[in-house]
Amino acid sequence: MIASQQPILLALVALVLSFGVGTIVFSRRASRDRASLPDSPVVDDVTATAVAVPTETDLEVVVETQPDVADAEQGPNLKTSIGRARSLFATAFSGIRSRSSIDESTWEELEDTLIRADVGVHLAQALLAPLRERVREKSITTPDMLIDALRVAMKQQLSGADRSLRIDTAVSPSVWLFVGVNGVGKTTTIGKVGAAKTAQGLKVLMAAGDTFRAAAAEQLQTWAERAGAEFVRGSEGGDPASVIFDGIQSAAARGCDLVLGDTAGRLQNKSNLMDELRKVRRVADKASGSVTEVLLVIDATTGQNGLVQAREFAAATDVTGVVLTKLDGSAKGGIIFAIETELGIPVKLVGLGETARDLVPFVAAEFVDALLD
């Protein structure tokens, strides 16, 4: 009886062993496949929902089922997204509200909180000075009234700015140039903007004017393909101005509505690189379209250094607006107040996460409410 079962047992053992070996080999191959996939311009953690040992088909599905720009209208939750900045104010306000009166320590804590949020020393004092006067006049008598008055003052500080993104319907295509230092997310921002605009029905062309950073053109091309946008690139190390010019001319020939021009990340204290950026702008103005936006992309986590960047780039390229990325990862959202107050440049878009729908129009009143609630 036992002897008769031996062939069956041996067959089972062989089957188990062959299954185990096959799984190990496939897992390694799947790892290689996953490593060879292009960097996702939308999210980095989509594979977390995949099964433990995905098939090649599963890997393709993971890439293709990233959040679509068609879901952009849902938008992120602003209060949740700026949690780090909110917690800074919440901690300070909790202590202030618990007091029975307004004293000098109240003013010191408010000023310190504004400065830590990177509003800036001068602007923090300017916001609080009228409130001090109202406290002296007894029109503000409690900490709650003081915080409510500060909310109103902060909203007024950001009111009146034109935050629209302009498209010239008379001279087509409109051209939006994106500028900024290395690593702030210009190429990703262009991809997200392009995805949103193609979803709105515009015909978009992305021009890879960053000819110096390795794989910058490939990254932008991936975005263009996924968004259904046209794409133009030049040779590696080529003249960025020529790429932007060719992109605009090509867009005009193809009947595109909008050109999104990438530029190389450059340090604002390098005069030769800033001169090159001026050249890009001059050449773009000579092409067949109309440059309606020059958008400076700033990383919110840089704080006051972002103000230095804004000042230098504005002088070089006539910046029309700011895109503030990584606001969800920073407690320094107060830089918005500094940029708009000191330079008069409106913040038009803010990045609140990794997906395409997390790049949203900046609404000042909603931002202040989310910050102070």
- Indicate if 256 and 194 belong to the same structural domain: yes
- What pTM did the predictor assign? 0.76
Give the pLDDT of residue 267: 63
- Indicate if 242 and 341 belong to the same structural domain: yes
Give the pLDDT of residue 268: 56
Q: Which of 346, 357, 291, 355 is nearest to 323 (CA)?
A: 346
- Indicate if 146 and 184 belong to the same structural domain: no
Q: Is 168 within a domain?
A: no
Q: Is 64 within a domain?
A: no
- Indicate if 328 and 282 belong to the same structural domain: yes
- Range of the structural domain that residue 128 is part of: 82-157
pLDDT per position as a tens digit, 291-347: 999 999 998 888 777 788 788 888 888 899 999 998 887 777 788 998 898 888 999
pLDDT per position as a tens digit, 136-189: 999 999 999 999 999 999 999 999 999 999 999 889 999 999 998 888 889 999
Give 68's DSSP letter: P
Q: Which of 343, 279, 264 is nearest to 309 (CA)?
A: 343
CA angle (261, 349, 160) in 5-degree steps: 120
- Indicate if 338 and 223 belong to the same structural domain: yes
First to last CA, the chain: 78
Q: Is 71 within a domain?
A: no
- pLDDT under 70 in the chain at which residues? 1-75, 266-270
Q: Is 369 within a domain?
A: no
- What domain count does the chain have? 3
Give the Cα separation of 117 and 333 in Å (integer). 6
What are the tokens at 172? 């087509």
CA angle (175, 177, 179) in 5-degree steps: 175
- Indicate if 205 and 305 belong to the same structural domain: yes
- Indicate if 196 and 126 belong to the same structural domain: no
Give the pLDDT of residue 33: 37
- Indicate if 185 and 266 belong to the same structural domain: yes
Contact indicator for 173, 197 with CB cutoff of 8 Å: no
- Indicate if 306 and 256 belong to the same structural domain: yes
